[in-house]
Amino acid sequence: MSEEDAKRLMVLLKKYTEEITASKEKALQALMDAGLVKANGQPTDLYRN
């Protein structure tokens, strides 16, 4: 990956982060889409200790 590619990726990641952290609902949806938490906010079985 070139330095230019890395910079573009960082810009996209920053934009995505700003979008999904704009509200609690969007953040929860992003975590659910990633399979990290259930709809009630509790971790999925794979991420429980």
What would the mean pLDDT of 38-43 be, rounded to a whole number? 93
pLDDT at 49 exceeding the cut of 80:
no
Helix axis angle, 3-20 relative to 24-33, nearest 10°? Answer: 120
Q: How many domains does the chain have?
A: 1
- What lies within 8 Å, CB to CB, of 46 at 6+ separation is 35
Model confidence pLDDT, tens digit, residues 3-13: 999 999 999 99
Residues spanned by the domain of 21: 3-47
pTM of the model: 0.72
